[in-house]
A and B are shown apart, each in its own frame.
Chain A
Amino acid sequence: MPSLTIDGRALTAGTDQTILEAARAAGLGIPTLCWYPKLPIVGNCRICLVSVAGEPKLLPACATKVTDGMQVTTESHAAVQNRRGVLSLLLERYPADHLRNGGRAEPRNEFERYVMQYGVVPTPTWGRDLPLRTGDERPGDPMIRHDMTTCILCTRCVRACEDIQVVGVLDVGFRGEHAEIVVGADGDPEKAGCTWCGECVRVCPTGAIFEVMPKERFSPQQIRHPERVVRSVCPYCGVGCQVDLHVANNTVARVTSPDIEADTPNQGSTCVKGRFGYDFPQHRDRLTTPLIRRGWEKEGGCWAWKGRRGAERRGGPWKSIEGEGQQTKPGTPPRVTGKKVRQLPLLERIDMDIRDRVATPSSWYEPFREATWDEALELVAQELLRIKQQRGGDALACFSSAKCSNEENYLMMRMFRGALGTNNVDHCTRLCHSTSVAAMQRAINTAAASGSMREIEEACDVIFIAGANTTESHPVFGALIKRAHEKGATLIVADPRRTELAGRADIHLQMQPGTDVALYSAMLHHILTQGLENKEFITTRTHGFEGVREAVRAYDPDRAAKITGVPADTIRRAAELYATGPNTSTLWAMGLTQHAMGTDIVTSLLNLMFACGMIGRWGAAMLPIRGQNNVQGASDVGAIPFVYTDYQPVTDPEVRERFAKTWGVSPESLSLNKGLMVTEVVKPESGIRGMYIMGENPIISDPDIAHAEHWFLQLEFLAVQDLFLTETARYADVVLPGASFAEKTGTFVNTERRIQLAKKAVDSPGQVRGDLEILIDLSNRLGLNAPFKTADDVMREIVRVTPSWAGVTHARLEGAGLQYPVPTPDHPGTRFLFADAFPTADGKATFVPVQYTDPVELPDDAYPFVMNTGRQLYHWHTGTMTRRATGLDAREPTPIVEIHPADAARLGVAEGDLVRLTSRRNSMVTAVRVSDRVARGQVFVPFHFREAAANLLTNPILDPYAKMAELKICAVRIEPVRMPAAV
């Protein structure tokens, strides 16, 4: 280890460290502008030059490696002169008149702080030889804009975009004094592939690249000096990015990401939703008081329904989702960026404010009246208890929420099990990874990822991704995968769509939708014929391999090529790469799971993984990528129908005994029968008469919406707890206004089992109450003692009944959080699992042979297209939040269907034209987006849009094990809709 002195202080440093790193480690500061942690070192600003004894020139501290015996002086006369020189040169093209104010000037950013520190006085702007700097400006952009006069060309933004996000939108254009930051080739971020992640905003040292929304809504003072900055967890996907909420005026004014060097799942990044999707809680649609459907009246201390009966009981002045689907609607408006606003024709300019199109129509409130909390909760408690009494607890069901915290989910399931005696507790995991859970439980008795996200970047050689559009659905993880790929990992993507990752993959297995089992079986077939399987792993760590060997015998790559459409040689090459790793990680998401044979599909992938022994090492991870920010946690704390916390079965009397004791109820009051799952509940034969829904919107997210919507109409009682009057909430008897993510404290579990703490940043508007508070109150009203005040209190009970969380406390979750299992208070958490054994009785994994069957609904002459559904980058699920987030909605304001250019040409439709999509169940009208991301004969419909809800068309047939619906495949027909000439 080299020892050196910096400003006379003796230090030892790592061999590969730079002078700057050594100085930083010793707490010594050296000014830097172009340097930024983790970005490639370019050494171009030249402000960090320092004197080194024996060197004729000043050396860049950021780029010079330490050597033994080095003597560094950071503030030598020459170094300081140089710094002043650099700063004054930069100031020559920077609007700096406000800094001529001597000691009274307030530096506005990192760069100006150095200017003040070194006492450089800028020349007045009027007397200068050089003009202010220019650059591409992103005019009209809803989220990110540039003021390039303040750019100092440090190129941090360029490198952040290129090397952290691996997108490459920004670059330096031109030479010499004309050099400037350019956006793509022609200033259009859209064409350049911008994802609006805002990494450039984060790294810019001068604010030349800035967020639009805070600047439009708050004063510079409020932005520069927020009232407080609170660490929270992003409310969107399962990556679980930590974010810092900046508060001004009791609202979230701005979101930033934690330090890039801090130990967070996002390592300092966020995606567009995390950074810009924060303003939905402030939307004017926000519910601020409880609502009770008109018709409920109180009589003699009891609530009674006096309103209309029959079909009209839950009616209102709205169109059904089915009805809205049929309606013609405006085609896709032009995306506003790229063109200068002034260049837009007048009509388009007016069209730019599209927000009102999706906001809750005011007529939706008509069937309701405002109520007090007491009234509302009293009515809910009365009706739930009445139905329990009259029809038994199993006539009740609740949808808990993967958007809510662990504590809230725990309270919800505690309430339904403890007070109402039913296991009908489920949440949207059913439409997410339920098939993965079923398959993983069958094989290794577990339900979570084995590894961590960052091992993909640190230790993985081959990344195998199946059915996951990571760069859109989990963008921060997607960027990490791209970085890993850039660093040399091999990327194999199995996906019918040519997603971004598929486009850059070394091998893209573009199979026919739903033919996964054939594909993975063929890969295993080839691996076995080549003898590439991990024989030792198979013998020592698994059983049942012979059955699988038998089962895959029929799938030689040539036959699989016919089924899947992937050339046999490609299958072979992928198989060899997968098997020879040395470290292969296996990632998958909805593309695999949302099938009626999803459990089998995941099983066949698991078989492949076990046969090659690609699990249980750092770098060989099994990563089902979870969708919602707390879908893992909601399951972990028992918001699923067959288990309590930690996956302890409800059917086990001993387990029941324990929970009964903890909750202070008699064991008999807890049901030993497995409850109904989400997809089973919304069926006429389920027998459910009363429902409580927290933060979910099944009317948009469930398959075959027309039937689902109808089903909800026949309920005796429906309570919905949500931020807005959603499509589901409009049918409710009671609507309880809940708190948004920024308004509460709680814990969330991300896709890599990391339990994280999100803290309350702002107060809720109006009479809104925290979900925790609502559930505590309601529990008590239902007769189940809930002796809690805070989320911390609830967590203390959770860890008592959750062995793998036993060592968790809110205090320990500060910072990085903990990856469970955390069995003891001093356990550091677990980065990866299954190094030696699986959590099965004998510690071994079980192979389960599976056979390929055709998807239930194949295209035919009447319905010639295969429709796939999924998510877009800018939207989240049923759009409740994102369609009310200004920036996000401006990017993707209207529903679309992606069609391959050749198909579009054949149908005679162009970008923006309306088409009618018809499946065997229903039809709807939406606008065309021509895109070669979908293969010919396939179309993709995002499911975020009420006006053209993809799930009107989907097939409600269920996976036999996990009761997952066939959301990814249904056959449709497409016809152009000729609009009547515009008036």
Chain B
Amino acid sequence: MGFPHTPHPRETLVLSKHFGDTDARTYKGWVKRGGYEMLNQALAMEPAAIIEEVKASGLRGRGGAGFPTGLKWSFMPREKKKPHYLCVNADESEPGTFKDREIMRWTPHGLLEGTAIAAHAIQADVTYIYIRGEFTEAWDIMERALAEANAAGVFGKIKIYLHRGAGAYICGEETAMMNSIEGKRGNPRIKPPFPAAAGLFGMPTTINNVETLAAVPLILENGAAWYKGLCLSNPKSTGTKLLSVCGHVQKPGNYEVTMGFPLKDLLYDLCGGMRPGRTLKAVIPGGSSVPILNREEAESTLLDYEGCVEKGTMLGSGGVIVFDDSADLVYQIMRLARFYAHESCAQCTQCREGTAWTTKILERILAGQGKMADLDLLLDLADNMTGKTICVLSDSCAAPVVSGIKKFRNEFEAYITGNRKPVIAA
């Protein structure tokens, strides 16, 4: 539900059912709503059985990559020889994405329950929930909920700790997060080894997104078949997805829809359409890291993993950023590039230098000092930055630039030829 908006009838309220309901935040309130029952059942189950159930549900990671969750869990060693860890990725820092925050704010016990079930499924002794540092309210709520749940002793021998991020976007990348938890600089690690083989403290580790884990108790409760049935388009994308809509729509907010929901309906129906007198220009459908869609593409996109790929973009984290015809896309793309330049961990040459240089060129164009050759330079740089680095932050910076120049080249050219006034000082 797009709290603070009232739920729209076309939403499918699964994860967001209790958003806005302060009673559900408390342990008592959660139990009253049937909470922790699934955990009790799960703790009595064979870990492998839980993994099978999650596999069957078709649940895929909601952190960005959409990797099948059950499959990821099954990579953990069956026979436990070393400590196993679970990390919960609550570092939600992707521009335009604010769904995990709401899950933690309204249903902290739902997340804790899912976390504990996952920990049991992968035989993890210890779990860290890595919460973005700026989420002070969510932190307080999670802390209270964890204390209550611990007092009630619901987790058995599973230990859950909250870990506070310190303001680096890159720490949302799974291996950077492990470094950060270990007390090191948050640099992504080279893979392989994959976390299931050698992750946190060198031990087998699984990392899952908040939204992914919050869905787990519901899958156990209602069955894999139910979850699999939540699908409007491609059967490879199942369940519901929380979409954080921001930008030029009448009613920005979180909307929970079944996989395969048309983007057009989301924008014009659920979100109340464009502002008066404005028309849609572009949409970034999956957080800031994916290619931009123009209006025609956006209006024909079905929101699931495959539907986005079909349009040359990705569902990513589900942060839908909407631009109407008043938006200056060159400026917007520069802001995105600047974000990545600021957040690059600076290990990889292409990313460290490429993000910074891209930003500088875009700034120069916006300051009226661009050259036509700069556009080729930008594309060349983007080519250098794609598919060659340790993590995909570098690619993420390149994606909006490439799609932006491809689809809105005239806007860039307007600055270069002087048809448009500089908007920033040189």
A residues neighboring B (CB under 8 Å): 41-47, 49, 56-58, 60, 63, 65, 82, 85-86, 89-90, 92-93, 129-130, 152-153, 155, 171-172, 174-179
CA distance A93 to B357 in the complex (A): 10
Asked whether, in the complex, the Cβ of A177 is within 8 Å of the Cβ of B389, the reply is no
Q: Is B278 an interface residue (CB 8 A)?
A: no
Partner of B349, one of A46, A65, A174: A46
| Interfacial chain B residues near A58, Cβ < 8 Å | 387-388
CB-CB nearest in chain A for B191: A63
Partner of A89, one of B185, B343, B349: B349
Asked whether, in the complex, the Cβ of B190 is within 8 Å of the Cβ of A46, the reply is no
Partner of B343, one of A129, A172, A175: A175
| Interfacial chain B residues near A175, Cβ < 8 Å | 168, 170, 342-346
CB-CB nearest in chain B for A154: B349
CA distance A85 to B387 in the complex (A): 13
Which 7 pairs show the lowest CB-CB distances between chains A and B? A179-B346, A177-B356, A85-B384, A129-B360, A44-B347, A89-B353, A43-B190
Asked whether, in the complex, the Cβ of A63 is within 8 Å of the Cβ of B190, the reply is yes
Q: Is B341 an interface residue (CB 8 A)?
A: yes
| Interfacial chain B residues near A89, Cβ < 8 Å | 349-350, 353-354, 357, 384
By DSSP majority rule, is chain A's interface helix, strand, loop, or mixed? loop
| Interfacial chain A residues near B350, Cβ < 8 Å | 46, 85-86, 89
| Interfacial chain B residues near A46, Cβ < 8 Å | 348-350, 388-389
Q: Is B228 an interface residue (CB 8 A)?
A: no
Measured CB to CB, the closest approach of chain A to B69, in angstroms, equals 23
| Interfacial chain A residues near B384, Cβ < 8 Å | 82, 85-86, 89
| Interfacial chain B residues near A56, Cβ < 8 Å | 387
Asked whether, in the complex, the Cβ of A177 is within 8 Å of the Cβ of B190, the reply is no
Partner of A92, one of B341, B347, B353: B353
A171 and B185 contact, Cβ closer than 8 Å, known pairs A43-B190, A49-B388, A89-B384: yes
Measured CB to CB, the closest approach of chain A to B361, in angstroms, equals 6
CB-CB nearest in chain A for B344: A176
Partner of A129, one of B168, B170, B361: B361
Asked whether, in the complex, the Cβ of A41 is within 8 Å of the Cβ of B190, the reply is yes
Asked whether, in the complex, the Cβ of A42 is within 8 Å of the Cβ of B341, the reply is no
Asked whether, in the complex, the Cβ of B388 is within 8 Å of the Cβ of A57, the reply is yes
Asked whether, in the complex, the Cβ of B388 is within 8 Å of the Cβ of A90, the reply is no
Asked whether, in the complex, the Cβ of A176 is within 8 Å of the Cβ of B387, the reply is no
CB-CB nearest in chain B for A49: B388
CA distance A846 to B213 in the complex (A): 67
From 112 to 171 in chain B, residues with beta carbon under 8 angstroms from any chain A beta carbon are 168, 170
Measured CB to CB, the closest approach of chain A to B387, in angstroms, equals 5
Interface centre among A44, A49, A172 (most CB of B within 10 A): A44
| Interfacial chain B residues near A85, Cβ < 8 Å | 350, 383-384, 388
Q: Is B352 an interface residue (CB 8 A)?
A: yes
Asked whether, in the complex, the Cβ of B185 is within 8 Å of the Cβ of A92, the reply is no
Measured CB to CB, the closest approach of chain B to A171, in angstroms, equals 7
Residues of B in contact with A, size category: 20 to 34
Additional A-B contacts beyond A82-B388, A93-B353, A129-B357 (7; CB < 8 A): A42-B347, A47-B349, A82-B384, A92-B353, A129-B361, A175-B170, A175-B345
Partner of B190, one of A42, A92, A176: A42
Measured CB to CB, the closest approach of chain B to A795, in angstroms, equals 50
Asked whether, in the complex, the Cβ of A57 is within 8 Å of the Cβ of B357, the reply is no
B residues neighboring A (CB under 8 Å): 168, 170, 185, 190, 192, 341-350, 352-357, 360-361, 364, 383-384, 387-390
CB-CB nearest in chain B for A57: B387
| Interfacial chain A residues near B349, Cβ < 8 Å | 44-47, 86, 89-90, 152-153
By DSSP majority rule, is chain B's interface helix, strand, loop, or mixed? helix
Asked whether, in the complex, the Cβ of A153 is within 8 Å of the Cβ of B387, the reply is no
Asked whether, in the complex, the Cβ of A60 is within 8 Å of the Cβ of B190, the reply is yes
CA distance A82 to B386 in the complex (A): 10
CB-CB nearest in chain B for A178: B346
| Interfacial chain B residues near A42, Cβ < 8 Å | 190, 347
Asked whether, in the complex, the Cβ of B355 is within 8 Å of the Cβ of A176, the reply is yes
Asked whether, in the complex, the Cβ of A177 is within 8 Å of the Cβ of B343, the reply is no
Asked whether, in the complex, the Cβ of A153 is within 8 Å of the Cβ of B185, the reply is no
List 22 contacting pairs A-B, 8 Å CB cutoff, sorted by A: A43-B190, A44-B348, A44-B349, A46-B348, A46-B350, A46-B389, A57-B388, A60-B190, A82-B384, A86-B384, A89-B349, A89-B384, A129-B361, A153-B346, A153-B349, A175-B168, A176-B346, A176-B356, A177-B341, A177-B346, A179-B344, A179-B346
CA distance A129 to B344 in the complex (A): 18
CA distance A731 to B274 in the complex (A): 100
CB-CB nearest in chain B for A64: B192
| Interfacial chain A residues near B390, Cβ < 8 Å | 43-44
CA distance A174 to B356 in the complex (A): 14
CB-CB nearest in chain B for A177: B356
Asked whether, in the complex, the Cβ of A130 is within 8 Å of the Cβ of B357, the reply is yes
Measured CB to CB, the closest approach of chain B to A791, in angstroms, equals 50
CB-CB nearest in chain B for A87: B349
CA distance A93 to B352 in the complex (A): 11
Measured CB to CB, the closest approach of chain B to A149, in angstroms, equals 14
| Interfacial chain A residues near B357, Cβ < 8 Å | 89, 92, 129-130
Asked whether, in the complex, the Cβ of A130 is within 8 Å of the Cβ of B388, the reply is no
CB-CB nearest in chain A for B192: A65
Measured CB to CB, the closest approach of chain B to A46, in angstroms, equals 5
| Interfacial chain B residues near A177, Cβ < 8 Å | 341, 344, 346, 352-353, 355-356
Measured CB to CB, the closest approach of chain B to A955, in angstroms, equals 48
Measured CB to CB, the closest approach of chain A to B199, in angstroms, equals 17
| Interfacial chain B residues near A171, Cβ < 8 Å | 185
| Interfacial chain B residues near A44, Cβ < 8 Å | 347-349, 390
| Interfacial chain A residues near B170, Cβ < 8 Å | 175
| Interfacial chain A residues near B190, Cβ < 8 Å | 41-43, 60, 63
Partner of A176, one of B192, B352, B364: B352
| Interfacial chain B residues near A155, Cβ < 8 Å | 347
| Interfacial chain A residues near B342, Cβ < 8 Å | 175-176
CB-CB nearest in chain B for A63: B190
CB-CB nearest in chain A for B355: A176
Measured CB to CB, the closest approach of chain B to A48, in angstroms, equals 11
| Interfacial chain A residues near B355, Cβ < 8 Å | 176-177
CA distance A193 to B291 in the complex (A): 47
Measured CB to CB, the closest approach of chain A to B365, in angstroms, equals 11
CB-CB nearest in chain B for A44: B347
Measured CB to CB, the closest approach of chain A to B344, in angstroms, equals 4
Asked whether, in the complex, the Cβ of B343 is within 8 Å of the Cβ of A176, the reply is yes
CA distance A176 to B345 in the complex (A): 6
| Interfacial chain B residues near A129, Cβ < 8 Å | 357, 360-361, 364
A90 and B360 contact, Cβ closer than 8 Å, known pairs A46-B348, A63-B190: no
Asked whether, in the complex, the Cβ of B360 is within 8 Å of the Cβ of A153, the reply is no
Measured CB to CB, the closest approach of chain B to A552, in angstroms, equals 40
Measured CB to CB, the closest approach of chain B to A645, in angstroms, equals 51
CA distance A129 to B356 in the complex (A): 9
| Interfacial chain A residues near B387, Cβ < 8 Å | 56-58
CB-CB nearest in chain B for A86: B349
CA distance A155 to B185 in the complex (A): 13
Measured CB to CB, the closest approach of chain A to B281, in angstroms, equals 28
Measured CB to CB, the closest approach of chain B to A653, in angstroms, equals 65
Measured CB to CB, the closest approach of chain A to B264, in angstroms, equals 32
Partner of A172, one of B185, B353, B360: B185
| Interfacial chain B residues near A57, Cβ < 8 Å | 387-388
Measured CB to CB, the closest approach of chain B to A94, in angstroms, equals 10
CA distance A297 to B356 in the complex (A): 80
CA distance A43 to B350 in the complex (A): 12
CB-CB nearest in chain B for A174: B346
CA distance A49 to B352 in the complex (A): 17
| Interfacial chain B residues near A86, Cβ < 8 Å | 349-350, 384
Interface centre among B185, B341, B349, B357 (most CB of A within 10 A): B349
Measured CB to CB, the closest approach of chain A to B76, in angstroms, equals 21
| Interfacial chain A residues near B354, Cβ < 8 Å | 89
CB-CB nearest in chain B for A91: B353
Interface centre among A86, A92, A177 (most CB of B within 10 A): A177
CB-CB nearest in chain A for B347: A44
Asked whether, in the complex, the Cβ of B388 is within 8 Å of the Cβ of A179, the reply is no
